[in-house]
Amino acid sequence: MDFTNTLMETLGIETQSADKDLIVMTMPVDHRTKQPAGFLHGGASVALAESAASIGATMNVDPDAYSVFGLEINANHIKSKREGTVTAKARPVHVGKSTMVYEVRITNENETLICLSRCTIGVVPNK
């Protein structure tokens, strides 16, 4: 997928692997993704989680026939981080015709849980 001129490009989010059952994306913890106190911004984690879930959902539909949109997302911020990289692993919990639900685990370089998110995706026919 082309991330040019998107939020993902702005935040430095990169896809490491993409399969309909597992999406792996990384994001740097740097000036683009930190809050003023110098820690990873919770909103950046949410953007990473929704990006991974949305790519996974796109892989589970025919993109010529359907578009996917985030309907709801929650995030539990478990641990803080000041530098380095975080990795999101998104797995589908439910793949339906009109909705999908993804669990996204965001970890640090040592696989320590930073954020746990659940994202509901809507599947809408293209008209």
Type of residue numbered 108:
N
What pLDDT does residue 34 have?
Answer: 98
Q: Which of 50, 83, 109, 111 is catalytic?
A: 50
- Domains along the sequence of the chain with CATH: 7-125 (3.10.129.10)
Q: What's residue 1's pLDDT?
A: 76
Q: Is 50 a catalytic residue?
A: yes
The confidence score (pLDDT) of residue 107 equals 98
pTM: 0.97
**92: amino acid identity, one letter:** P
Of 93, 100, 95, the residue nearest 120 (C-alpha): 100
If the chain, 127 residues long, is cut into consecutive pieces of 10 residues, what is the mean pLDDT of each piece? 91 97 98 98 98 97 97 98 98 98 98 98 96
